[in-house]
Structure 1
């Protein structure tokens, strides 16, 4: 019998440093599970060629959001599986795990593997969900798009980089780093103060909304996603229609606080709010701004004359562990 599950691991992912020995042992105890480890993200293409020969029932990705993004891009662009790639699953590892969280994979990665092993031995279909994807192009001729599910830009990108470069290196637990970042952002948004120990002020940016015109200004938050879990609402609706959900919050005092309050009340996108823009589109263009945008943990920098373009990409099937 061939492998029901192919597991692609990135040992360099932070969450794997402690968990990988247990994962290796689990794989050794389950001969129907094929484990492929890569040392560099650039090796994922070669890994996919090998995995495609095995024709697994489920392809599991074990790494942070950057590893998941690279794997999605290779599955989408590489053509290794023809027109029928296997459904994907994501183990909870790495620093952020936004994609794993959206798919119901939380806590111990071994428990998630056990659940996936059980699912693969039966009928997978009841556990499959289609997830819309974001295709990011940065204007480079001939370069295939990068595929992901969550993009942060403007002030949000600065906040993510602040957490990554200022707090992660201290060795504090992830939850504490995220909590301190939230406190810093809340203090900054309420007080209007800036300082060397706080995230920098966002720069000017143009957000092209196809036929809907564009937004220009400084934004404390720009979020484009296909994920439901992150938005705390599976029925988020704003102006427009499309596969990409976008939230942009003008850089003004109390703007983020008002937007977050609307999320908690389930009102975001359902009631118009001054300075809070919610829409759904099939294409979004990002121009200007000195801050990069971050797609699933990886940075991309807009260049003069070469805007970053986000388009709706065809969906892929994923295995959802939670109901």
Structure 2
């Protein structure tokens, strides 16, 4: 019996020492502790692990997977920052949006597709300049200067660049038979603030609009305009051929056009062993630019936070 009791006491002491040792290990190493939650019946269950997003999505956005904003005359897709995280379509998209905001990148990107005869309705941006590269199609551009006294219009084809300074009213009309596709760059890492002219009109009280526009018929004339149920940001009326016949698309003088336009595909090439650059940018003293290119260069320089755009062609196996 004595031998049995001695053995039992030894086992108890050994077990106690083992439990104490394990407790010290768990306290010193929190990674050993498994997180648990409590189920409805009071029992514990493991907590789900937090989602881990690949760090590459701080620098990469799968634009083709982003939400397509459809309109009667086309569509827009965005790679941008959103204050409301619920507006992101995925964790990867949110990672990119947070990254461009955290890095103060001065950048929001979008693609704009306009159907044949469609129109990106007149609008302006409160907090960003807009730079665009026409990837496909033919378009007619309109810009109303900041002082509202000069309207500049011009045609643009694939490979050319457009520029709209902040707070200038502008529009884009597809005048070709195929879709227009623009790559658009906006100089803000915050949410882009845009107002369409039709939204401004319909949000203005009727009496104020009548006094400002002074149409024949006054308020009664203003009331003949009805706001469409569907957003008309990219417009294409089904009866357009009845509304507009023999349209002409005027080209303004070069000294006006080149403030908002650059022929990137026709500009000087900068070759390297593995590829070639072309630039739409500001150059001090207009170095290497012709007279019209100098107009664009100076236009970029006189507006705050403008961008330099470029195309880079890399040959096979180039780096």
TM-score, with length taken from structure 2: 0.23
TM-score, with length taken from structure 1: 0.23
Based on CA coordinates, which of the two structures has the bigger radius of gyration?
2
Larger RCO (CA under 8 A, 6+ residues apart): 1
